[in-house]
Chain A
């Protein structure tokens, strides 16, 4: 297949949808997100029904376990990373490949920051005896937040792969939909975290 070199002038509007493959990828990622929503809905429902449930005399509860300041910092990191991935898409529209790579890299750094705090948090809980096997509550908590964490890891690996694989290729109609789909997925992870922050941390500490 002959490669066309694009300039900002020849770069099409909505480059991510300019090819049939691109259209397929975008519809595909949305459909995948629909099914992922059901996955999270099931885990959320389980968490809500097992919250604070444990063996008789369990001393752990959402009130004495969770710390809002840490969750707040994590939220800020992830929300900002969503914003930076929007910047990357903005630069993709103008065929500014350096901008795309730069803002995607910043997104990765923010995501790594979030992940580091999550690992710190989990480690802390395990340290004080609230391990995965401690109670139904702990299993449900680690599964819910951990499933989200796993999504973050997958998103990070995906974006890093994109940054590395395309470093020499530049921006073209083959990889534009790939960036776009990764960015949609990253937003989705962000939205799920908003729900986790609300349901697990806010409702846990306040309600």
Chain B
């Protein structure tokens, strides 16, 4: 088994099979990153089409119906299928290294989580070719979506159900990994902040995704199997969907932004060359944001009519979130303060992030004021707000971290000059696009409209906004170009690419062998690698165990087969309301495939395999040259 790592020349088929069956967190991280980039590009393209449509008044570039599909798919794809997998990519690639583990707690489930997410995403996107995409907005309010003709909403419900299950599985996996797999000495209060935010994010996933599952299930049976959860003539209530969706939907925002906070908390200390300021308060703030994130969902429903008492409670809780978030912002600033700063590309993204995100946060507090929200609701002000938070907070984190972690993930570096150009193009484009949308909103332009009349004072701002969107697109193209160039570039074969790495992931030489650290490291304090470096340890780390056999999990194709079973079953459910005779059999066959592979998995012993000491030494020599192993 372990000869896989030693033999380096493999045919395309073997490599492809290896990626289909892999349970290695590093490969899954790369796969998440690729899939996330693909969907990011698709959703970005959809946004571009919308901005072209809105560039001038009374435009007919796309039809009203297609515009609805575009805005729905843009939102859904960006949140579920682009931002989430991109962040999962970094979590997979980095977290096990940061805690000094060989792999995640459940490598098999890690792979299952990826394939469920990916096939769910593919299923959702097939809607474009099979009669039209969902068109009721990413929130898909039941009063609207229940009566949407065609299969668009069915694709939304089934695709998100499958990919949501994948996300939930991955979330549980990360929680267990971080609780049980930490290296000796890696106490909770020595964990790097990205590991902390991954833990809290996963906890949010664990509590937030089941309500979505339930909501989607209600929608599914209402639309496809004639149930009556949302049909008021049969006693149903559409507000149930709003509650379930936002009980999931609001924590989802924190699910995405907390890892972004964590990534910046890794980037900033490295390039300020200073310990993270206020580590314990950062941890505390992360937990508090996670907790409060569940207390505020009804601030999306101020205008639903829940009454002044409910609105007041949720308004206050929402404003309270600004406190831990503010703590974080001040901690980042104070980390930079007095540091010996290197302005690299990741640091540039971090410096751009702080003011952009604060702007998004401040408009958030404005909307938390319920009476004001009655004015702002469903206007472009909201669009501007959440794009400031999501692009200014999450996308900057993803782009910055791509540069930051590229050496660990791919053993290549992304170009610095092109990176700076990407940053400025994207950053200027971003503010150009969304800053003016605040004012469009205040002037009364509603969101989700496919066109508008001329001479209402909206023309110029919309035009500038669209120009900004094109700049952002150029920025993304430059980034992709940078990635393509990096594939051709020379492998780095180095340790600590940025020279000031602090946590464990920088202590390992690239390319990272499939078993990670050859010996489990001993963590002697916060920022363990920095500590060892400054005590003059040439080995990189102090180790907790002698060089011995390494136990690794087996690859498996079953996760893919299970996911394909769900994929097939979803088609059966989708066409059920059309009255076709094959719908129920297809559901049964699909679920049968899934259940059969689960039973196969359960009945077979899967004990993994051992990499013997000689093979470890041989692998290290092959990767780093003779005598060069650490």
Contacts and interface: CB of A to CB of B under 8 A. Distances in A.
Contacts of A122: none
A53 B214 contact: no
A180 B607 CA distance: 18
A139 B214 CA distance: 13
Interface stretch (B42-50, B205-213, B611-619): B205-213
A136 B210 contact: no
Nearest to A46: B240
A49 B599 contact: no
Identify the interface centre among B180, B211, B231, B234: most chain A CB within 10 Å of its CB.
B234
Interface stretch (B14-22, B171-179, B276-284, B330-338): B171-179
Interface string B179-213: 11100000000000000000000000011111101
B229 A46 contact: yes
Interface in A81-98: none
A126 to B, nearest CB: 14
Contacts of A45: 243
A42 to B, nearest CB: 4
A34 B106 contact: no
A55 B237 CA distance: 12
B603 A53 contact: no
Interface string A171-182: 000100000000
A132 B227 CA distance: 7
A28 B173 CA distance: 7
Contacts of A135: 228, 234-235
B211 A38 contact: yes
B233 interface: yes
A31 B229 contact: no
A32 B608 CA distance: 24
A24 interface: yes
Contacts of B578: none
A55 B235 contact: yes
Contact of B240 (A24, A38, A49): A49
Interface of A: 1, 20, 23-24, 27-28, 31-32, 34-36, 38-39, 42-43, 45-46, 49-50, 53-55, 58, 132-140, 143, 157-158, 161-162, 164-165, 169, 174
15 contacts: A1-B610, A24-B181, A32-B172, A35-B168, A35-B206, A36-B210, A38-B208, A42-B244, A49-B237, A136-B236, A139-B227, A143-B221, A157-B599, A158-B602, A162-B602
Interface of B: 105-106, 168, 172-173, 175-176, 179-181, 206-211, 213-215, 217-218, 221, 225-229, 231, 233-237, 240, 243-244, 247, 599, 602-603, 605, 607-608, 610
Given A28-B105, A139-B221, A161-B603, 12 more contacts: A20-B180, A23-B180, A27-B105, A27-B176, A38-B207, A43-B214, A49-B240, A50-B236, A55-B233, A136-B235, A136-B237, A143-B221
